[in-house]
Amino acid sequence: MAKILEVKYEHQADARVCEVAHKSQADLCWHEVHYPAQASGDAIWFMVAYANQASFKVLRVKHASLADLKIFKVATPEEAGWNTKDHLLIGKLGK
């Protein structure tokens, strides 16, 4: 399950992410859930507060050119998933 921690410093992050403006620009469309048990795979995220709770740590960057992963938040779990089928991070977020 994807338990995601947003960190403040690059050396703490597993990847740099950029939230893009349009779903079609994203490598990964993600959906946020309210309980850890609801998180699944790479695309259904539960945001955690502490590093020891996280399966993956991200640093948000402002420009897509600086990102390892371009993301777009979707309203429903059914919309969530990978747009880039051969991305290097597939299977890594929800380990």
Q: Is 77 exposed, middle or buried (0-12, 13-18, 19+ CB in 10 A)?
A: middle
For the segment 19-68, what is each residue's pLDDT rounded down to a tens digit?
999 999 999 999 999 999 999 999 999 999 999 999 999 999 999 999 99
91: left (phi over 0), alpha (psi -120 to 50) or beta: left
Tell me what pLDDT residue 94 has. Answer: 81
Tell me what pLDDT residue 1 has. Answer: 80
Q: Residue 95: is its pLDDT beyond 80?
A: no
Q: Residue 18: is its pLDDT beyond 90?
A: yes
The model's confidence at residue 16, banded by pLDDT at 50, 70 and 90, is very high
